[in-house]
A and B are shown apart, each in its own frame.
Chain A
């Protein structure tokens, strides 16, 4: 394999990790909205755990390898519209996704505290936190930004 093929393969692999993690987060977020008890909520957070690793590795990988590819390939520049647009969308998806991650990390700690205290019955405060609209809206923005990046990478407008 040539260096170009390696870079492209690893870049696409990282993109798969990023979008796959987004799919997992979406599934878990939908399931969390139907949850009122801390036990099942913690189970769902456990299901999302591998996605947390995937999004970190995939996010960094797409960025570093994407920039490397843009520099390596003659004729592409980082300031080309579709590449610059993808970088902006990467910041949007990273920023919104990061905020959602912090929010649910805090909710997870609350759920863990409830379990430690033996309060396993439905909890209104936890249910409200799991159904909050803002993290869902931020996640939706993150997903749309990811789709935008995918569109730019495939269609390469202006290239």
Chain B
């Protein structure tokens, strides 16, 4: 295999670093949220409320900043790599879908996680309730979607 496949121009590197760093923090944050919510499912009372709060804080302090970094880095890298080129390859479109549709799902997961904290605080035997369960499913779907995006970014279908 030639080295040409693995080298990219220098001006792409800083935005790509930002993009990849943000994406890894985003996925790490989502894993923390998923894990905390999964633990909350199996608990009751203050224990469930405690880990549900941890899930929500992880969302706010890791997932949201990670997403912002990833998205800014993506747009910056795109502007360097493609400029005004009108036809995007398939892998770029997959990335856009994962980022933008994923952003909407992230927003929904964040709202639901916040509601789960309230639900756990107010009663329902301390459990995160339906909002927590819905947030767990959305976060799991998002992790899978971002893994597909990683595949698209590396295998670059349609390029």
Which of these, A4, A20, A48, contacts B24 with CB under 8 Å?
Answer: A20
| Docked complex: B123-148 residues within 8 A CB-CB of A | 147
In the complex, how many residue pairs between chain A and chain B have their CB atoms under 8 Å apart? 116
Quick one: which of A28, A54, A156 contacts B7, CB cutoff 8 A?
A156
A88 close to B (CB within 8 Å)? no
- Pick from B16, B31, B36, B156: contact of A23, CB under 8 Å: B31
The residues of B that contact A1 with a CB separation of less than 8 Å are 155
User: Which of the residues B27, B47, B50, B57 comes within 8 Å of A20, measured between beta carbons?
Assistant: B27
Which residues of chain B come closer than 8 Å to A28, judged between CB atoms?
32
A121: shortest Cβ distance to chain B, in Å? Answer: 14
User: Given contacts A47-B54, A154-B13, are A54 and B31 in contact (CB under 8 A)?
Assistant: yes
**Does A155 count as interface, using CB distance less than 8 angstroms?**
yes
Nearest-neighbour CB distance to chain A for B109, whole angstroms, equals: 16
Please, which residue of chain A has its CB at the minimum distance from the CB of B4? A75
The answer on a CB contact under 8 Å between B24 and A16 is yes
How many residues on B have C-beta within 8 angstroms of the other chain's C-beta atoms?
A: 40
The complex places the Cα of A11 from the Cα of B112 at a distance, in Å, of 33
Q: Is the CB of B24 within 8 A of A23?
A: yes
Q: Are A19 and B28 in contact (CB under 8 A)?
A: yes
Chain A 136-159, CB-CB to B under 8 Å as 1, else 0, gives: 000000000001001100111001
Residues of chain B lying within 8 A (CB to CB) of residue A39? 47
- Binary CB contact string for chain B from 7 to 45 against chain A (1 if under 8 A, 0 otherwise): 100000100110011011101110110111001000100
Given A9-B150, A73-B3, A73-B5, does the pair A47, B32 have CB atoms closer than 8 Å?
A: yes
Residues of B near A74 (CB, < 8 A) are: 1-3
**A residues contacting the other copy or chain, number (CB 8 A):** 44
* Any A CB within 8 A of the CB of B120: no
Nearest-CB residue, chain B, relative to A4: B1
B27 touching A150 by the CB < 8 A rule?
A: no
Contact in complex: B17, A151 (CB < 8 Å):
yes
Residues on B with beta carbons closer than 8 Å to the beta carbon of A51: 31-32, 35
- Tell me the complex Cα distance, A51–B153, Å: 24
**A12 and B2 contact, CB distance less than 8 A:** no
Our pick among A4, A47, A150 for the contact of B39 (Cβ within 8 Å) is A47
Q: Does A106 contact B (CB under 8 A)?
A: no
Q: Is the CB of A23 within 8 A of B29?
A: yes
CA distance A33 to B27 in the complex (A): 23
Across the interface, name the chain B residue whose C-beta is closest to A156. Answer: B7
Report chain A residues within 8 Å CB of B150: 9, 12-13, 16
26 contacts between A and B (CB under 8 A): A2-B1, A4-B5, A5-B155, A12-B150, A16-B24, A19-B24, A20-B27, A21-B31, A23-B29, A27-B61, A28-B32, A43-B39, A43-B50, A44-B54, A46-B39, A47-B32, A48-B35, A49-B35, A73-B2, A74-B2, A75-B2, A147-B21, A150-B21, A154-B13, A154-B16, A159-B7
Give the top 7 A-B pairs by smallest Cβ distance, nearest first.
A23-B28, A75-B3, A20-B28, A19-B24, A9-B154, A5-B155, A154-B17
